[in-house]
């Protein structure tokens, strides 16, 4: 189980035996790195891996918390690892649920990520699961990047992910992100501000055509739930953004949220 402080300015030194990834720092004078070398980030174009193909967020979680009410206490969802893509050509896919800060900088996200492809020296032409915490102080400027151990997962594996938060008397928020089937993916983060927005997304880079997406019609996220500070359920009314409908779309369905591949 890995722990990280959200107000750290620098990440730990990287050794192969460690499960913590160092921060990616980039001077504005340097050229933009290859998209496949980036990591799942706070938002498309804001330090992230590439681009959101589709994103659904719980509308009730998009309003920032007031001074005396923390909007979201927990967020959970379940999905199944899809088959590999029909065509493999160096693409990187990130399929995840997560919680992030409200708009503005610094911006951060905590997310259990199902990954296809190689990014940041992790993964390959197989599905793997790890939990990421990423914070950016400006577009494409990351000051914290921490990840859990990465675990190879087989198609058909069920993933039950959740993020649970508490607030101490001193005002520090502690978040525990976990996947029931993969205990080594647990990551604990302490932050001075709350994570608020709850979303489910497919993000990709080096993606040329639909054949490079999973070789299945759809992935459905089920048993989705979010609770507020009083343990009341937030209404699952979704704000949906399908940025690349020629590749994939996400929409509410009878069982939850369905991500359809073209």
- Output phi, psi for 218, to 5 deg: -160, 160
Q: How far apart are CA 70 and CA 234, in angstroms?
A: 12
Would you state the pLDDT for residue 119?
Answer: 82
Q: Is the pLDDT of residue 163 over 90?
A: yes
Count of other CB atoms within 10 angstroms of residue 192: 11
- Strands ordered across the beta sheet of 158-167: 2-5, 187-191, 173-179, 158-167, 74-80, 218-227, 256-261, 248-252
When mean pLDDT is compared across 96-105, 175-184, 198-207, 244-253, the lowest value belongs to 96-105
Would you state the pLDDT for residue 14?
Answer: 25
Q: Distance between the two ends of the chain, CA-based, in angstroms? A: 37
Calculate mean pLDDT across residues 255-260: 96
Q: What is the pLDDT of residues 62-96, one digit of tens each?
A: 866 654 455 688 999 999 999 999 999 999 999 99
Would you state the pLDDT for residue 145?
Answer: 81
Calculate mean pLDDT across residues 56-62: 88
Q: Are 207 and 73 in contact (CB under 8 A)?
A: no
Residue from 85, 48, 64, 23 nearest 197 by CA: 64
Calculate mean pLDDT across residues 238-257: 95
Q: Is the pLDDT of residue 246 over 80?
A: yes
Would you state the pLDDT for residue 99?
Answer: 94
Calculate mean pLDDT across residues 143-153: 89
Residue from 7, 2, 3 nearest 135 by CA: 7
User: Please, which pLDDT band fits residue 183 given cuts at 50, 70 and 90?
Assistant: very high
DSSP state of 69: B
Q: Which residues, other chains included, contact 169 with Cβ-Cβ below 8 Å and sequence gap of 6+?
A: none
Alpha carbon 192 to its chain's center: 20
Q: How far apart are CA 187 and CA 222, in angstroms?
A: 22
Domain 2-12+34-261, CATH number (from 1.10.150.120, 3.40.640.10, 2.60.120.200, 3.40.50.300): 2.60.120.200
When mean pLDDT is compared across 105-109, 126-130, 184-188, 194-198, the lowest value belongs to 105-109
Would you state the pLDDT for residue 122?
Answer: 82
Q: From residue 34, how far is each of 65, 68, 116 by CA, in Å?
A: 36, 43, 16
Would you state the pLDDT for residue 150?
Answer: 93
Count of other CB atoms within 10 angstroms of residue 89: 12
Higher pLDDT, 44 or 127: 127
The torsion angle over the Cα atoms of residues 135, 138, 142 and 146, rounded to 10 degrees, is: 0
Calculate mean pLDDT across residues 206-213: 93
What the block records as the tokens of 155 is: 């198609």
Q: What is the CA radius of gyration of the chain?
A: 17
Longest dimension (CA), the chain: 52
């Amino acid at each position: 189980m890995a722990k990280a402080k959200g107000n750290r300015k620098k990440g730990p030194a990287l050794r192969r035996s460690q499960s913590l990834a160092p921060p990616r720092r980039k001077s504005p004078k340097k050229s933009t790195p290859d998209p496949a070398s980036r990591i799942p980030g706070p938002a498309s174009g804001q330090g992230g891996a590439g681009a959101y193909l589709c994103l659904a967020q719980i509308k009730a979680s998009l309003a920032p918390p007031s001074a005396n009410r923390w909007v979201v206490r927990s967020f959970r969802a379940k999905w199944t690892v899809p088959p590999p893509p029909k065509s493999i050509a160096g693409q990187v896919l990130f399929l995840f649920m997560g919680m992030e800060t409200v708009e503005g900088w610094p911006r951060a996200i905590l997310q259990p990520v199902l990954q296809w492809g190689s990014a940041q020296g992790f993964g390959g032409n197989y599905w793997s699961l790890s939990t990421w915490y990423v914070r950016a102080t400006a577009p494409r400027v990351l000051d914290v990047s921490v990840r859990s151990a990465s675990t190879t997962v087989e198609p058909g594996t069920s993933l039950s992910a959740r993020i649970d938060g508490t607030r101490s008397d001193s005002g520090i928020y502690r978040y525990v992100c976990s996947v029931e089937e993969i205990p080594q993916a647990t990551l604990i983060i302490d932050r001075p501000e709350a994570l608020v927005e709850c979303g489910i997304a497919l993000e990709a880079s080096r993606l040329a055509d639909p054949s490079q997406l999973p070789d299945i019609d759809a992935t459905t996220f089920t048993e989705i739930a979010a609770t507020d500070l009083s343990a009341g359920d937030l209404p699952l009314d979704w704000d949906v953004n399908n940025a690349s409908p020629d590749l994939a779309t996400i929409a509410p369905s009878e069982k939850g949220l369905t991500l359809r591949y073209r």
